[in-house]
Chain A
Amino acid sequence: MASSFTRILSSKRNVGILSLVGGSVAAGFLLHREHVTAGEPLRRRYPASAEYPDLRKHNNCMASSLTPAIYAKLCDKATPNGYTLDQAIQTGVDNPGHPFIKTVGLVAGDEESYEVFAELLDPVIKERHNGYDPRTMKHPTDLNASKIQSGVFDERYVLSSRVRTGRSIRGLSLPPACTRAERREVERVVVDALSGLKEDLTGKYYSLTLMTEQEQQQLIDDHFLFDKPVSPLLTCAGMARDWPDGRGIWHNNEKTFLIWINEEDHTRVISMEKGGNMKRVFERFCRGLKEVERLIQERGWEFMWNERLGYILTCPSNLGTGLRAGVHVKLPRLSKDPRFSKILDNLRLQKRGTGGVDTAAVGGVFDISNLDRLGQSEVGTNHSMWRITSIRPSVSLKFPIC
C-alpha cells in the first residue's frame, strides 16, 4: 500500500514542484501530456457553444468571468486526476446567486485546477481578492505570533475569540473531487499526525461514522459537531458525497484547539476560547499549525502551498491565509449607527450573526472578522483586528453606557 501511494505521490509532487519552479507552462505541458495518454473520451461531443451554460440570471464571480471564449478553450481540458471545467463551475451554474451577496461560483477539485483552469480562476481570484493578480503578485505567509503586540480585549464586550483556517494535504484531491480512498487517506494522515501533539494540545479524534451517542451529544453541546452540508453551494460541488465516510472531528482535551476533517476542506483548524484574549488564541493557533505541519512532514507529507496563492483550499475565496479571525462582540449601539457598515468597510472587517455566515445577530452581539484572505499575511490580518479596539473609546464618548 505504501509503495503505490509513493508512486502516485511522486508523480503528483513533480507536477506540484514544476508549477512552483517552472511556472504554468511546464506544468501545463506535463498535465496535457498526461491527459492525452489517459485516453480520449468516446462520449458524443457537442461544440462548446452548445455546452456553454446560460448565465444570464447569474450573479457570481464565475459568471462574471466565464466568457464563451474561455469556456471553449478550457472545456476539453482535465487535471491529471480527471477533474474538468464543467465540474469546477457546476456549483456556480446551479446557484445563480443572490442579488446582494456575490458568491464565488466555482471550486477547485485539486491543486492542479488552479493551473489548468488558470484562465478562469485568475480573474475570479482578482475580483474576489481586491485586485490580487496571481500572475504577478506574491502572497506573504507569516505565522509568527510573537509579532502581535496587543490583542487582549475588554471582556465586558468581547464574549469569545476565534481564529480558523484550512489546510490541504498535497498529493490528494480536494473534497469536490476526491475518491473514497483519497478521503480516507486524508483522514489517516491527519489523525496520525494529530496523535503526536503534546501538552496543552493533546487530544482525541472522533470519527463521524464511529462516534457513540454520548460523544455526539457532548460535541453538540460544545458546539463542535459539524453536520452534513445542506447548503446547495457545497452539495452541488459534490462535497457531501459518501457522507459521513472519512469525516471526523479532533479536539484537544482543553477544548481550545479543534480540527475538522474532510468537511469543506481536507482540514479546518480552529483555535478558540471564551473571552477577549485574541493574542493567546492566535499564539495557540500558530503554534498548533506549525506542530501539525512538522508532524505530517515527518511522515513524508506536506501542505498545499505556493507563493502565488498561499495555502491552497477548495474555494478560491479561502486562498492565501484561509484565515478568518473573529470575535463575538456586544455592539448594540454601534451596530445601530448608520455609519456602522462604512466603519467596518474601512477597517476591512465584516459582520455576521452569531450563528456564522448568513445568520442574524442576537441581542446586539455580532461576529466581527477580517475580510481579506489573499495578499496579506496572517499577522497582518490580525493587526487589522486590533483596530476595532480603537472604536471603543469613540463609542463611549458618543453613547454613554449606563
Chain B
Amino acid sequence: MPFGNTHNNFKLNYKVEEEFPDLSKHNNHMAKVLNKDIYAKLRDKQTPSGYTLDDVIQTGVDNPGHPFIMTVGCVAGDEESYEVFKELLDPIISDRHGGYKPTDKHKTDLNFENLKGGDDLDPNYVLSSRVRTGRSIKGYTLPPHNSRGERRAIEKLAVEALTSLDGEFKGKYYPLKSMTDAEQEQLISDHFLFDKPVSPLLTCAGMARDWPDARGIWHNDDKTFLVWVNEEDHLRVISMQKGGNMREVFRRFCVGLQKIEEIFKKHNHGFMWNEHLGYILTCPSNLGTGLRGGVHVKLPKLSTHPKFEEILTRLRLQKRGTGGVDTASVGGVFDISNADRLGSSEVDQVQLVVDGVKLMVEMEKKLEKGEAIDGMIPAQK
C-alpha cells in the first residue's frame, strides 16, 4: 500500500519487539525466514520509490498459510526490493527454488529452435497446450506498490507496443473498464477474461487497488496469443491452442515475446531482468523464467496409480485441476506443467514438459492395456 514515507519513519519510534509480527501460527516461506534480527536490520530501509519491509511482508502476515501448501508470504514492490531486502528474500528464494544461491546465475533461452520435438503429443490425450510468463517494465514500480498514474502509464506503453504488432500477432486491446457487454461475453467464452483478484494472497498485497482502472486484455485475431495488462504483474503473456503441438505454442510464445521486448526497448523501457534472478516479477515464486508451460491431458488411470506423485516429482512437473491452481481435476483431465522457474532456462523447462507428458501418455496407454509401468518410471531429473 502506498503509505507516505513518513509512516515508516514513524514506526521506528517503536521498538522491534513492539512492531515484530506474531508469526506463531504461520506456515509460509516468509514466516520461516523472518526473525527479529532480520526485522531490526531491514525495518528502517526503503527502496528509492519508498517500499518498505512491512510492505513486503504484509501479505504473509495476513495469510498464515495452509498446513499442506507452502505459500511465499511476501512480494516485491519494485525491482530494487530484491536488493534492498536481500537478507530476507535470498533465503526465501533459496527455499522456494531448490537451494538457489545468491551467487548463482540464471540462464535465459528463448530460442524455440533449441526445443527437441514437442509437435507430436497425442491429441487423443493432450487436449490443449499453453505457455505463460510474466514481464515487468523497467522503471516502473510493481502492482503491489504502483500508483494510478504509474499503472496508467504502464497500460499506455503496453497498448502502444501491442497494437503495433502485425502478421500472426495482429490484435486488439480490451480495457476492463470500458469493454462492452458483448465483448465481455466473448472474452468469457474464450476463457480469456481475468477477474478482480479475490484471493487474499493478492488483495492483502494491495494488487487489486483501483480496480479496474488501467487493466485490460489484449489478444491476437487468431486467439492464440494473449496478454493481460496490470493483473498480478505488469504483463502476463500467454500462448495457447487446442491439441498437443507444444512446439508451435512455444514458437509463437518466443517470437511474440521477443517482438514485444524489442518495442519496449525502443521506448527505453526494456523488461526487468538481471543475470542472477532472470526476469523480475512481483512474486518471488515467479523469478527466473516466470514460465509455466503445460497441457490439459487425460490421465484417468495414471492419476490413480500409487506412484503418480512420485513420477511427477521425478519429472520435475506439477499437477493442477483444469481450473488452474487450487482446483480439482475433472473427468481425469489434469493440468500438468513444469515445477521449476529459477535456475533453468525456458527451453529446459518446456523440454521437461514435452518429454514428461510424452512419457506419461505412454504410461497411460500401457495401463489401459492392463500392463505394468514399473520399468518406465524415470530417474530423478
Residue of A nearest to B25 (CB): A209
Q: Does any Cβ of B come within 8 Å of A99's Cβ? A: no
**Complex CA distance for A84 and B3, rounded to whole angstroms:** 7
Scoring A residues 181 to 212 as 1 if CB is less than 8 Å from chain B, else 0, what string do you get?
Answer: 11011000000000000000000000001000
Which of B145-153, B186-194, B319-327, B336-344 makes up part of the contact surface? B145-153
- A81 and B19 contact, Cβ closer than 8 Å, known pairs A51-B148, A241-B58, A242-B62: no
Is B10 a contact partner of A50 (Cβ separation < 8 A)?
Answer: no
Is B15 a contact partner of A41 (Cβ separation < 8 A)?
Answer: no
How many positions in chain B have a CB within 8 Å of any CB in the partner chain? 41
Scoring A residues 235 to 264 as 1 if CB is less than 8 Å from chain B, else 0, what string do you get?
Answer: 110101111010000000000000000000
**Complex CA distance for A241 and B49, rounded to whole angstroms:** 22
Give B contacts to A, CB under 8 Å: 1-11, 13-15, 18-22, 48-50, 54, 58, 61-62, 141, 147-150, 152-153, 177, 203-204, 208-211, 213
Is A82 a contact partner of B5 (Cβ separation < 8 A)?
Answer: yes
- A4 and B13 contact, Cβ closer than 8 Å, known pairs A39-B6, A245-B21: yes
Give A contacts to B, CB under 8 Å: 1, 4, 7-8, 35, 38-39, 41-44, 46-47, 50-54, 57, 78, 80-84, 86-87, 90, 93-94, 177, 179-182, 184-185, 209, 235-236, 238, 240-243, 245
Is B2 a contact partner of A84 (Cβ separation < 8 A)?
Answer: yes
Q: Whole-angstrom distance from the CB of A189 to the nearest CB of chain B?
A: 14
Q: Which residues of B contact A86 (CB under 8 A)?
A: 2, 147
Residue in B9, B13, B19, B213 whose CB lies within 8 Å of A39: B9
Q: Which residues of A contact B203 (CB under 8 A)?
A: 235
**Complex CA distance for A180 and B57, rounded to whole angstroms:** 13
Residue in B6, B8, B22 whose CB lies within 8 Å of A35: B6
Q: Which residues of A contact B20 (CB under 8 A)?
A: 180
Secondary structure dominating the interface of A: loop
Q: Whole-angstrom distance from the CB of B6 to the nearest CB of chain A?
A: 3
Q: Whole-angstrom distance from the CB of A25 to the nearest CB of chain B?
A: 21
Residue in B11, B147, B208 whose CB lies within 8 Å of A46: B147
- A82 and B19 contact, Cβ closer than 8 Å, known pairs A44-B150, A179-B11, A241-B62: no
A–B Cβ pairs within 8 angstroms, 23 of them = A38-B5, A38-B9, A39-B5, A39-B6, A42-B49, A43-B5, A43-B48, A43-B49, A46-B149, A46-B150, A51-B149, A53-B148, A80-B6, A87-B2, A87-B4, A90-B1, A177-B3, A179-B14, A180-B20, A181-B14, A185-B18, A241-B62, A245-B21
Q: Whole-angstrom distance from the CB of B154 to the nearest CB of chain A?
A: 12
Q: Which residues of B contact A81 (CB under 8 A)?
A: 6-7, 10
Residue in A84, A235, A242 whose CB lies within 8 Å of B21: A242
Q: Which residues of B contact A53 (CB under 8 A)?
A: 148, 210, 213
Residue of B nearest to A52 (CB): B148
Is B6 a contact partner of A38 (Cβ separation < 8 A)?
Answer: yes
Residue in A8, A177, A180 whose CB lies within 8 Å of B19: A180
Q: Whole-angstrom distance from the CB of A100 to the nearest CB of chain B?
A: 22
Q: Which residues of B contact A54 (CB under 8 A)?
A: 177, 213
Is B4 a contact partner of A240 (Cβ separation < 8 A)?
Answer: no
